[in-house]
Amino acid sequence: MFVTEETKEWLNAETSALVDFARKSRVDVGFGTLDADGGIDAAAGAQLWINCRMTHVFCLAYMRGDDSARDYAKHGIRSLLTNFRDSEYDGFFSTISLESGDPLGERGSQKEAYAHAFVLLAASSGIQAGIEGAEELFAAAKDVHEKYFWESVGLACESWDRAFTENEPYRGVNANMHTVEASLAAWEATGDLVWLGKAYSILHFVLGEAKGLGWRIPEHFDTQWNLLPDFNIDQPADPFRPYGITPGHGIEWSRLALQFWVTAQNISADQLREIQADDAWLAEIPQVAVALYDQALADGWDVDGAPGIVYTTSYTGEPVVHERMHWTVCEGIAAAAAFATYGESTGDSELVSRMNERFEELLDFALAKIIEAPGRWTHELDRNNVPSGITWPGKPDVYHAYQCLLMPIIPLTASFAQAVKR
* Interval 104-130: pLDDT, tens: 999 999 999 999 999 999 999 999 999
- pTM above threshold 0.95: yes
* Interval 181-215: pLDDT, tens: 999 999 999 999 999 999 999 999 999 999 999 99
Q: What is the pLDDT of residue 101?
A: 98
H/E stretch holding 199 reads helix 193-211
Which distant-in-sequence residues (6+ apart) come within 8 Å of 59 by Cβ? 69, 73, 122, 125, 126, 128, 129, 131, 417
Q: What is the pLDDT of residue 162?
A: 99
* Residue 400 designated active-site: yes
* Interval 285-295: pLDDT, tens: 999 999 999 99
Burial of 341-350, coded b for 16+ CB within 10 Å and e otherwise, reads bbbbeeebee
| Average pLDDT of the segment spanning 355-362 | 98
Which residue of the set 56, 75, 116, 249 is catalytic? 249
Q: Tell me the C-alpha distance between 107 and 388, whole Å.
A: 25
Helices marked H in 32-156 — which ranges? 48-63, 69-79, 113-129, 134-144
* Interval 252-281: pLDDT, tens: 999 999 999 999 999 999 999 999 999 999
Q: What is the pLDDT of residue 210?
A: 99
* Interval 62-105: pLDDT, tens: 999 999 999 999 999 999 999 999 999 999 999 999 999 999 99
Q: Which CATH class is domain 5-420?
A: mainly alpha
Are the beta carbons of 141 and 178 closer than 8 angstroms?
no
Q: Tell me the C-alpha distance between 170 and 238, whole Å.
A: 15
* Interval 33-47: pLDDT, tens: 999 999 999 999 999
Burial of 113-130, coded b for 16+ CB within 10 Å and e otherwise, reads bbbbbbbbbbbbbbbbbe
Domain ranges of the chain: 5-420
| Average pLDDT of the segment spanning 314-342 | 98
Nearest to 253 by CA among 295, 207, 214: 207
- Bridge partners, residue 34, by sequence: 40
Q: What is the pLDDT of residue 350?
A: 98
* Interval 162-185: pLDDT, tens: 999 999 999 999 999 999 999 999
* Residue 326 designated active-site: no
Q: What is the pLDDT of residue 347?
A: 98
Are the beta carbons of 201 and 182 closer than 8 angstroms?
no
* Interval 3-53: pLDDT, tens: 999 999 999 999 999 999 999 999 999 999 999 999 999 999 999 999 999
Which distant-in-sequence residues (6+ apart) come within 8 Å of 367 by Cβ? none
Q: What is the pLDDT of residue 61?
A: 99
